[in-house]
Amino acid sequence: MANEASTLPHAGRTRGLLPHALGTYWTILRICIEERLVYRGDFALGTLMRFLPIVTQTFLWTAVFAGAGNPMRIGDYTRNDFIAYYLLTYVARAFSSMPGLASYIATQVRTGEIKKYLIQPIDLLTFLLLSRIAHKLVYYAVATGPFALMFYVFRGYFTGWPDPLTLAAFALSLLMAFVLGFFLEATLGMIGFWFLEVSSILFVYMLFNFFFSGHMFPLTIMPGIWGQIMTAQPLQYLAYFPAAVFLGKVQGAALAYGLVIEALWILFFITTSRVGYKLGLRRYSGYGG
């Protein structure tokens, strides 16, 4: 990030066309994209390797249904629905996952490097949001081909494309999952202002995230009160909800209700992260050069 900050004077090139702040943030976004492309070989290899678990999960759920005597369905999901669901959660997680964001913020606080955001006219959260947008843009540019191949190979597990309204709701839920994932992890990162070491807290959060987001299985197959708890918490919008929307498991009033609740969770975590940052700066003290 130090290299990014050092190149900010190039923002002046765009000042004649754009407002000063907008030109600065456009320059940050462009530099972040260029930074990702510098290591494009390593980035592309790492992206492609992430597709390997899809094959193992397909074999896993096929074996689970076969071992259970080939039941027609578990809950309201058939075997094909399960595999299609897992493929879709992989897409949703590609939008909502923010690896290293919370730990980066906490490290910046602990090491004192956060002061560079205090002495420059750059907002920390906006800078990090632009960095993540750049990361996702490069990621999708690399991963679009493998994703298209994956869905073509596994097209037999899908019943077909959903109607345009459902497809639009699916796209909206993915974009909102990105925003929710960012501000949720940013909120966790602000804990670094009160605790010098947050790695154990983040480890616990990742465990809950993996389980409660629906990455492992559809949350609605959980019985009774556990199913109600699973579908009442915000982590479901990071993986379960977009996949369920695409498969038509959430429709009509329930779909509209789910999108509204997701938007409210986004507003909650934007507010919480902003308040946490403001209160954290009141506690922060920097010494030395």
Q: Which residue has the tokens 């490097």?
A: 113
Judge whether residue 83 has pLDDT over 80: yes
Q: Specify the long-range contacts of residues 60-63, CB closer than 8 Å, at least 24 apart.
A: 61/86
* Alpha-helical segments (H) within the chain: 2-6, 20-38, 40-49, 52-67, 79-96, 101-111, 115-119, 124-153, 164-189, 199-212, 224-230, 240-246, 252-283
Judge whether residue 18 has pLDDT over 70: no
Nearest to 93 by CA among 278, 240, 280: 240
Residue 74 is classified by DSSP as E
Q: Tens of pLDDT along 206-233? A: 888 888 998 888 888 887 788 788 888 9
Beta bridge partners of 77: 74
Q: Which residue has the tokens 């579908």?
A: 231
Q: What is the mean pLDDT of residues 121-145?
A: 86
What backbone torsions phi and psi does residue 120 show, to the nearest 5 degrees? -115, 150
Looking at residue 47, its pLDDT comes to 66
Residue type, 266: I
Looking at residue 61, its pLDDT comes to 74
Looking at residue 2, its pLDDT comes to 39
Question: Tokens standing for 220?
Answer: 């609605």
Using 50, 70 and 90 to split pLDDT, how confident is the model at 279? Answer: very high
Q: Are 236 and 214 in contact (CB under 8 A)?
A: yes
Question: How many other C-beta atoms lie within 10 A of the C-beta of residue 133?
Answer: 16
Tell me the C-alpha distance between 106 and 41, whole Å: 29
Q: Which of 24-33, 195-204, 214-223, 258-267 has the highest mean pLDDT?
A: 258-267
Q: Tens of pLDDT along 145-172? A: 878 888 888 888 888 889 999 999 999 9
**Residues ≥6 apart with Cβ < 8 Å to 127:** 28, 117
Question: How many other C-beta atoms lie within 10 A of the C-beta of residue 14?
Answer: 16
Tell me the C-alpha distance between 191 and 272, whole Å: 11
